[in-house]
A and B are shown apart, each in its own frame.
Chain A
Amino acid sequence: MDNTYILKIFRGSPSHQYWEEFELQLAPFANVVSSLMEIQMNPVNREGKRVEPVVWEQGCLEEVCGSCSMLINGKPRQACTALIQRIISETGSSVITLAPFSKFPLVRDLIVDRNIMFDNLKKVHAWIDADGSFDHGPGPKISQQKQEVMYSLSTCMTCGCCVESCPQINSKSKFVGPQIMAQVQLFNDNPTGSMKKADRLRPLMGEGGISDCGNAQNCVKVCPKNIPLTDAIATIGRDVTLQAFKDFFSLPDR
């Protein structure tokens, strides 16, 4: 057929995953999410068989919520901004593969359970220790330059693309992942947050911490928000070493 494309989807449940193809009419500005919506409306595969619609996670559809992460032609990214026409022109192929992330437990089809990323935020004290929701006047002054850096780190939507791309993360490793380093930097940069700096650095000293990073730099290449993840890893690496020295010699915090 003319002007069509094929979504080849790795789907199924944990014990039973298989490839299934759907052929769709190319529409202007179609993206992977709108294509999946089309399948949902009329779930007929390429063999003409009516099948169960593919399931996936979605939310804002404008790349700010982090829901619709998946592997598209093998690359971890957000499905909403994956424009079909652009992918076809870039690859020269009208077949696009979709698969669930491989480093998280599979739920069904394209849905995986990314809970561990949120649990890791708990481990590293990823919040500001404010005195409570009262009117204590304004927060500390922050320079425009510092705000720029903090804002960039704070746009992390916990989508998991960096974790998926990281060669150090696998079923045997405990590495907390690149996004955690960016979050630790974010809170340590904050004037109030820096008072609890050590509480965030110490959990990164042992197994699963900063030394598990293999410096492959995949994370920064796949981050949909262009967060300077490798800079954060370098910063946190330095800070963790410094903290370890301080702890060893029982030096007071400055």
Chain B
Amino acid sequence: MTKKEKQVIVIGGGLAGLSSAMKLAEQGYKVKIVSVTKVKRSHSVCAQGGINAAVNLMGEDDSPIIHAYDTIKGGDFLANQPAVLEMCLCGPAIINMMDRFGCTFNRTPEGLLDFRRFGGTLYNRTAFCGASTGQQLLYALDEQVRRYEVKGLVEKFENHEFMRLVMDEQGITRGVVIMDLFNLKLEVLKADAVVIATGGPGLIFRKSTNSTFCTGAANGRLYQQGMKYANGEFIQVHPTAIPGSDKLRLMSESARGEGGRLWVYGDSSKSLLNAQGQSIVCGKTGEPWYFLEDLYPAFGNLVPRDIGSREVLRICEMGMGIDGKMQVYLDVSQLSEEKKHKLESILDIYQKFTGEDPRKVPMKIFPAVHYSMGGGWVDWPASDDPDRWTRYRQMTNLPGCFNIGESDYQYHGANRLGANSLLSCIFGGLISGVEIPRYLENLSSSYLDTPSKLFDAALQADIDLKKDILSRRGPENVHALHYELSDWMVNNVTVKRDNKDLERTFHKIKEIKERYQHISLDDRSQFANQTYIFANQFGPMLNLAEVIVKSALLRNEFRGAHFKPEYPERDDENWLKTTIATYDRSTGDPIITYEPVDTRYLKPIKRDYATAKKIKPKLENVPDHVPLPI
């Protein structure tokens, strides 16, 4: 009998990674957390508005079933429904757990949790901590994990980056290679299970709402090693961000949840078509025109993000942007002092970066790349599937390698609803925390029996790659290449997509990949060399960019965040399927295949936000008992 080691490696210390680490440590597992930064600085801190859970404390008769319905519809029916349903069922328990951990949620006068409204729903089901909810949730988990660190169950490798997965001859996960970002030393960590929780790939677009940590490089590296990457083409563009030269800072949906309104000056000589195909006059000339409220009377300013971004772009393309520029007003100046106070942290951000006080004047905003619905493909057997207990939720196609949080592809389909990301991160983390022990118990072999030459070879591969990148002596500047890539991506692979442009972008990336071989670094030192660290990330970023573009090129329909005017309708007959990209080692190109979407509870219906009312949706085939991870 092989000796069992209760050892797990978690890559990434945001909400997903920390909830996974916490759940594992609680069961006595020894967890090594690898993070490119102090885990407390992870990108989860940027999540502002809140976390969804149908706790139903607002007297609205809300339920997790309605939450699941909203999420499935919001994702334009591309999400696998068992994963969505179980996440929504678990929502209230997750909120309660975070509350018990001391997360500083806003309160009602009675001292209960307060909830606000968010996009894509008619219910107040978003719990929040001012307007820095992600930060507060992350801190609460960071504190719980610190507790296990003191107990000796968690060891942190902060300022370390994931380089590659080590797999044995059977392709089973046995460890990772990581690099110390200060002294650039490479080392091997061994374990039979590895969790990837590395967030999204926003930096492929350079300027986004993402932190500068969010390169997507870890997923890119795994993809190069054979991990399937799913639904890469679905990139969420958030309707409201502050334009900037270094970053597009998010202006939370909670600003609209609390009553903020989008407007431009009306022009009665212009008109446009609404979702029902009726012509609508663009307001009264010279007066504020609240375009979303006119176009979508039922949901108004709280339409899902894909719709909001498309409408802002459409209005600006009609020449109605504020000051003739690509920007519209987001106005919270009319809100009560109490509501403004709830939004204080984001209003401060606006004021600090623009010098204007949004309590007095409307904010100028424009859409920005925000979130990747796509990510590492992970398995997700439903509770009542006959093979439920022979498969592992959140596990990639590489045995023993799990993927959670924004870096996986579950839960959000073609468009994520606001405040569902924090929920999916924690839920995915908890799920991995109960699936991994089961995987390890059923595993008949151990990394202790893996020949050391396997680890040596993996380490050597990264030593060689490092030497190669540091010794390149060509005319290209890696930062200039990054700018070039991101310009193409932002122009052609965001809100509106066109096959001719996508094709040109695909060829451009291939060209940049070639030029990337001929970079020359301004810094060749062996200590805290950020130029090298970025150059090392840029290779896998380019491969992920190819996946995003090719997946978008092939999908000839309009679904959620993927809007292709040449194909203006959702096409369930041909495209109700998940895109899967696999790396072709011989050509370096993505091979695209498809698999069906699990729509067992709710058959696709029209995605209506103009006239829809609160309803009690019926989901079919819901199992009687769904065991939850907490």
Contact = CB atoms under 8 A, between A and B. Distances in A.
B528 interface: yes
Interface stretch (A132-140, A173-181, A206-214, A233-241): A132-140
Contact of A40 (B42, B109, B433, B531): B531
Interface stretch (B71-79, B130-138, B502-510): B130-138
Nearest to B433: A133
B245 A127 contact: no
A61 B249 contact: yes
B107 A142 contact: yes
B107 A126 contact: no
B479 A40 contact: yes
Interface stretch (A1-9, A64-72, A90-98): A64-72
A55 B530 contact: yes
B530 A29 contact: no
Contacts of B105: 147
Contacts of A51: 522
B530 to A, nearest CB: 5
Nearest to A123: B150
A230 to B, nearest CB: 21
Contacts of B628: 135
Contacts of A13: 527
Contacts of B246: 31, 33-34, 37, 61, 80
Contacts of A31: 246, 353
A28 to B, nearest CB: 8
A13 B109 CA distance: 54
Interface stretch (B92-100, B228-236, B264-272, B407-415): B92-100
B356 to A, nearest CB: 11
A51 B521 CA distance: 11
A64 B135 contact: yes
A81 interface: yes
B146 interface: yes
Which secondary structure characterizes the binding site on chain A? loop
A108 interface: yes
Question: Which one of A65, A86, A135, A157 has the greatest number of beta carbons of chain B within 10 Å?
Answer: A65
Nearest to B529: A55
How many interface residues does chain A have, given as a range?
Answer: 35 or more
Nearest to B528: A108
B26 A132 contact: yes
B102 A192 contact: yes
Contacts of B249: 61-62
Contact of A133 (B97, B102, B250): B97
B383 interface: no
A107 B528 contact: yes
B146 A53 contact: no
Contacts of B564: none
Nearest to A109: B528
A155 B132 contact: yes
Contacts of A222: none
Contact of A127 (B143, B433, B479): B143
A192 B130 CA distance: 21
B96 A138 contact: yes
B93 A64 contact: no
A186 B424 CA distance: 27
B467 to A, nearest CB: 19
Nearest to B525: A52
A219 to B, nearest CB: 19
B40 A130 contact: no
Nearest to A118: B38
Nearest to B95: A138
A172 interface: no
B45 interface: yes
B99 A138 contact: yes
Contacts of A132: 26
B40 A61 contact: no
B565 interface: no
B43 interface: yes
Given A34-B246, A52-B522, A133-B430, A63 B100 contact: no
7 contacts: A40-B530, A52-B525, A81-B353, A130-B97, A142-B111, A151-B129, A158-B38
Interface of A: 13, 27, 29-31, 33-34, 37, 40-41, 43, 50-53, 55, 57-67, 80-81, 83, 86, 107-109, 111, 114, 118, 121-122, 126-139, 141-144, 147, 150-151, 154-155, 157-158, 186-187, 190, 192-193
Given A136-B97, A144-B107, 17 more contacts: A29-B245, A52-B525, A60-B46, A65-B41, A65-B42, A80-B246, A128-B100, A133-B19, A133-B430, A135-B97, A135-B630, A138-B113, A139-B99, A142-B107, A151-B104, A155-B345, A157-B135
Top 10 nearest A-B pairs by Cβ distance? A141-B111, A139-B99, A127-B143, A34-B246, A135-B93, A128-B102, A108-B528, A65-B41, A139-B100, A61-B247
